[in-house]
Structure 1
Amino acid sequence: MQVEKAIDYIDNWKKCDISRLVNHFHFIKGKDVSSQYQRVQSMTLKTDSLKASLLKNDIKSMAIHMGLSKAQAKPEELSFSPVFSVIGTIGKPTYDDFSILEEEPKGIVPESFKQALSNNWLMTDQSMIDDLFVAVSTDKNSPQLQRLHSYQITREINDLLFSILTDKGIVSKMKSLHFHLGADMNKYSDKYAFTFSPVIELVIEKLDDEELLRVAKLGMRSNISLMDDEDDSIFIEYLKPCPSTCNE
């Protein structure tokens, strides 16, 4: 993904009228008279470019930025498009954009997540969607409304995800990275917390025993297939948002 395009996506999100954000999460699926608006549930990232960035460099930081592919939402296409950035110790940052995950592989997303965060997202009234991305700053001297910008991935902020994405053995087996949209309604009454709560899913080729042990030690939730020819998944929940984990 070109740097200029990535910056445009990120700026579109930051500059969008907060009351119009909801339009970017919906699109009309199909072209016949029975077509209905659909709310995006999951995004996916093809990992060829991402793997190249992760494997060739010592990683300083990563981030998943909220983004919009278009400043004005159009009914016929989804314009919500997060951006994944990688900053290495050398070279320039690299960027990759997500696309909609058209069909979830059966059994990949844990049922517990579907019944909680995912269902909350899908069932949230359209008039409340914008509220999921806004929180009050914790500065007691000058509290202000803040919009969710990104999820920073560093050793200090999100150690679990950073550790797995800098494990070159596991990264070499990574097939895709999914961004499942969710809402933690327990946070809705907390004006200092963002209610939007996505889950990251890493789909990887079959892990060997040593790799399984590394995942277990990291304490990550994993969905390990019992079939030798099926992929494994690793899930990371409750990412720490920016703000307040950044100095933007």
Structure 2
Amino acid sequence: MKSIPQEEKLLRWQREHILRLADHFHEFNEISGQHLRAQKFSLGIEALKIVADNWKTTTQIEIHLGLNEVETEKNAITFIPLFKTINAQGEEAFFDMEITNEIPKSNTRTVNGLKPDIVPESYVYMVTENWNTVDFHLIDDLFVVQSKNSPVRVRSYSLTEDLVKQLNSMNGEDLVAVHVYLGLDMNKFNKTNLTSFTPIFGFVFKDAVANDTFSFLDALNFSKRNNELKTREIFVQYSRPCPPTC
């Protein structure tokens, strides 16, 4: 797919006709004969290194919603989230995320006859499953919210400063992946003053600490430790949509 400047990607998202928005989250799979939906995006290797190297000085973390150039045959996912960081000096950096489309599995089952030590992915699994199964024709409305009595389209989602500080307590050199999972919170569905689209931020660290060492546990979830890779993923389930919070 041909890539276009980041600023244009953001403008395309804002300007796209509402009835065509859902198309950008789907692509046709020739093998299955079905349209597949975007579910997960990740930072590429070069972008991840820059983010990790500047982890301790990062004060703001956001994702901005964008659209890449539309293919003539419309046989590609053209929605693209841009990962944004701001440091203490106010310097901004944008990074295109890459589609990877693997979502967390529910840990409510047993593994080898034993229940996992923690079951934190249940909320993540629920909202990503909601997104994956919502009717195609409803997607257009998930990004619209009433602001000052007028419908507006959400442009970005940001983490609170307190949450970023919590994440800053981890070592940037241990950051091995950054993901964004597309989700839908049914508790906000059909509420015009709230946006029901709910992105989940995922930060994978080597030897990540246990969840009882963090505060804000209502906003953070933790994956079961990957003993083979010695990693653990921290899920951030709450972020502020802009508009209406900006």
Shorter-chain TM-score category?
0.7 to 0.9
Paired letter, 1:7 = E
Deviation of the 1:131 alpha carbon: 0.7
- Could you tell me which residue of structure 1 aligns to residue 98 of structure 2? 99
Aligned residue in 1 for 2:177: 176
Q: 2:165 aligns with which of 158, 163, 166?
A: 163
Corresponding residue of 2:202: 201
- Matched residues in 2 for 1:152 and 1:112: separation? 19
Distance 1:118 1:60, change over 3 A: closer
Distance 1:117 1:70 in 2: 28
Q: What does residue 36 of structure 1 align with?
A: 34
Aligned residue in 2 for 1:11: 11
Cα displacement (A) at 1:121? 1.0
> Which residue in 1 is equivalent to 2:241?
241
Give 1:104 shift. Answer: 4.5
> 1:123 aligned to 2:133?
yes
Distance 2:69 2:132 in 1: 22
Q: Are the equivalent residues in 2 in contact too, given 1:25–1:80 (CA < 8 A)?
A: yes
Map Cα deviations across residues 50-107 of structure 1 (whole Å, 9 max, x no partner).
4424534733433200111125685321111100112223474221111111444767
Distance 1:123 1:88, change over 3 A: same
Matched residue, 2:114? none
Once the 2 structures are TM-superposed, how far is the Cα of residue 146 of structure 1 from its aligned partner? 1.0
Cα RMSD (Å) of the superposition? 2.7
* Residue 110 (1) aligns with residue 121 (2): yes
Give the fraction of aligned pairs with identical amino acids, expressed as a percent. Answer: 28
Partner of 1:62: 61
Are residue 144 (structure 1) and residue 122 (structure 2) matched? no
- Report the alpha carbon displacement of residue 229 of structure 1 after superposing the two structures with TM: 3.7
Contact 1:12 1:71 in 2 (8 A): no
Higher strand share: 2
Instruction: Return closer, same or farther for 1:47/1:202 CA change in 2, 3 Å cut-off.
Output: farther
- Structure 2: gaps (5+ residues): 108-119
TM-score, scaled to structure 1: 0.80
TM-score normalised per structure 2: 0.81
CA spacing shift, 1:111–1:136, aligned 2, 3 Å: same
Per-residue CA deviations over 1:192-223 (Å, capped at 9, x if unaligned) read 0001112111112122xxx4378523422112
8 Å CA contact 2:28–2:35 kept in 1: the answer is yes
Pick closer, same or farther for the CA change 1:15–1:215 going to 2, 3 Å.
Answer: farther
Q: Is the 8 A contact 1:203 1:232 kept in 2?
A: yes
Change (3 A) 1:203 1:124: same
- For residue 154 of structure 1, report the CA deviation from its aligned partner: 4.4
CA–CA separation in structure 1 for the residues paired with 2:229 and 2:52: 25
Structure 1 contact 28–77 (Cα < 8 Å) conserved: yes
Q: Is the 8 A contact 2:160 2:240 kept in 1?
A: no
Distance 1:133 1:231, change over 3 A: same
1:229 and 1:84, CA in 2 relative to 1: closer, same or farther beyond 3 A? closer
